[in-house]
Structure 1
Amino acid sequence: MRPTLFYDARLKGISPSGNGDKLIIEYQGREIFLPADSANAQHYEKRLKASGNEAGLIGLARQVRRRTSGNRRAGVFYRFDAYCDQTLRRAFDLDDYEYLDNSYNLNCIGWRNAKNPDGFLAPRGILPGEDGRFVSDNTEKYLFAIPFEFIELATRMKTDPATLLKTFIADTCNLQSTPELPRADGLSGRGTEALRKARDYLRTAWRLKKDFF
């Protein structure tokens, strides 16, 4: 059985085939062909051609599931995410799962890079950005009831209430998660226009002064 995560894989290219594109990666000295997520494969095929980097890109190949046309069940594919810092490498010897049952996204995954040769810990689920930087998870949980009308609204928007509220929070607070500086809490706003409208709503609904933000 193939692993679901290929850390420090070197993407060498994209191979087209009758059954869909394949990621060509070099992993632990072996060349491996993985069924590729089509959109992700197209993105990196263009990126590799544009860069002219024959050595390829170092990053993480991870398993994803998605439905394809004509299939009721989700198929298994792989997507590649290049490390923003190409000197970044996983340091499995530093992994610390002592508090794995904690509800917060703790820094417990080991990494090393050129700037931090002794290694450092980062949260599960993110790839550290430039120079190994990231924003730690400092969120607090609140439990409250959500009315059916809001749930119905979210459903009509083809999302869920939690995602809708998280996006509004990110827009209001101008939170951005980027490859260069990823956020462990996963919050990321929709941009300048969404930020302006979200803050305009708060000013109107709560009668805030223009200089509040």
Structure 2
Amino acid sequence: MKFNVFEQITKPWSRVTLHNVHLLAARPTGDSFTMITVEHQGAQCDLISANRWDAEWSPRDVGRCGYLVPAEPIDSEPQWACRFRTYLDPSLRRLYELDVKDQWGWLCDDRPQGFLAPAGLLPGVKGRYVADETISVTLRIPPEFVRLCRSVDHTPIDVLRGFVGDAADINNYVDWPRADGYDSNGSDERDMAKEWLLRAYGMYAIDLDQLELAKEENAARANARDDLGALLDEFIDDGGSVDELHAAVDDLIKEQRRKQTLLQQ
């Protein structure tokens, strides 16, 4: 019996996602659904695309490539329905042969040799995404906070992640998605979270930009000293005199100071 990948998508409560699917046609069925014709690896199939919004958007996507996912298991949608979603970058394709543990293979016109992205993450335009650079923090929380989170029907993890996203002014853009999944709850929430942070800890605020700039300048000076040390070794190895080099550098310093004095006058 030949394996039919489309049957896997339309099984009740399926969790299969089918990539590199081309939408060939889309037409309304008259009952708030859309019949779509799709093609995958040479095989074509007619499928029901769920909900009335697809009747408006699916025709605009005809001719594009994307992926199929099962419809949400809610009463208003048939269990066998699915949804077609286009890739933001028309040239994006799944490259299964590149897959490694927890990493999916992809390619696009801007990255024709292929690249890896975290499993389950859909890369944005030009295959871009923000890498996961999060760090682990272990935090014990009191029952009062657990109860507070329950009062808004969210877990403590959800609430803390939401606050982190708001306070850090994070935006998870569709065309440049974040592998760590962080996002904010909106512009007002971002403003209020930053106001709270400044209200609670503003007296300890430091200028991180200045600190980071100073750190970069110190690193650049350290590299310059290393380079000068290497040049000094070469000079001595080639028979040069340390005293002569010292005198020459001293003259350069005096000339530089003279120029600075003229500029300040």
Q: What TM-score, normalized by structure 1, do the two folds share?
A: 0.77
Partner in structure 2 of residue 158 of structure 1: 153
1:172–1:8 CA distance, 2 compared to 1 (3 A)? same
Q: Aligned residue for 1:103?
A: none
CA contact (8 A) 2:19 2:94 kept: yes
* Aligned equivalent of 2:82, options 78, 85, 90: 78
Residue of structure 1 aligned with 2:29, choices 6, 16, 20: 16
Taking every aligned residue pair, what percent have the same amino acid on both sides? 26
Q: Larger helix proportion, structure 1 or 2? A: 2
| Cα deviation, residue 145, structure 1 | 1.9
Q: Is the 8 A contact 1:7 1:59 kept in 2?
A: yes
- Cα deviation digits, residues 58-89 of structure 1 (max 9, x gap): 112123543326x9xx9575333321101001
Partner-residue secondary structure (3-state), 1:9: strand
**1:67 is matched with which residue: 74, 77, 93?**
74
Q: 1:186 aligns with which of 175, 181, 187?
A: 181
* Partner residue of 2:56 out of 22, 46, 62: 46
CA 1:178–1:32 in structure 2 vs 1: closer, same or farther (change >3 Å)?
farther
| Alpha-carbon separation, structure 2, partners of 1:46 and 1:111 | 29
Q: State the secondary structure of the residue aligned to 1:80.
A: strand
Rounded to whole Å, the distance in 2 between the matches of 1:128 and 1:155 is: 34
Q: Residue in 2 aligned with 1:95?
A: 99
1:122 aligns with 2:117: yes
Unaligned runs of 5+ in 1: 101-107
Query: In the aligned structure 1, how far is the partner of 2:67 from the partner of 2:87?
Result: 7
Distance in structure 1 (CA, Å) of the matches to 2:155 and 2:203: 29
**Matched pairs, number:** 195
Q: Which deviations, in whole Å up to 9, do the C-alpha atoms of 1:174-196 show, x marking residues without a partner?
A: 11112210001111112321111
Name the aligned partner's letter for residue 30 of structure 1: A
Aligned partner letter, 1:60: Y
- What is the match of residue 38 of structure 2? 25
Instruction: Flag the structure with higher strand content.
Output: 1
Contact 1:154 1:160 in 2 (8 A): yes
Structure 1 residue 130 displacement after superposition: 0.8
Instruction: Please tell me the root mean square deviation across aligned C-alpha atoms, in Å.
Output: 2.9
- State the shift of 1:211 in Å: 8.7
Query: What is aligned with 1:134?
Result: 129
In 1, Cα distance between equivalents of 2:182 and 2:126: 21
**Which residues of structure 2 form unaligned runs of 5+?**
1-6, 10-15, 209-265
Which amino acid in structure 1 is aligned with residue 90 of structure 2? Q
Higher RCO (C-alpha under 8 Å, 6+ residues apart): 1
- Partners of 1:207 and 1:192 lie apart in 2 by 21
Aligned residue number for residue 144 of structure 2: 149
The residue that corresponds to 2:171 in the other structure is 176
Q: 1:162 to 1:67 in 2, by over 3 A?
A: same
SS in 1 for 2:176: coil
Conserved in 1, the CA contact under 8 Å of 2:33 and 2:55? no
Aligned-pair distance for 1:36? 3.9
SS in 2 for 1:185: coil
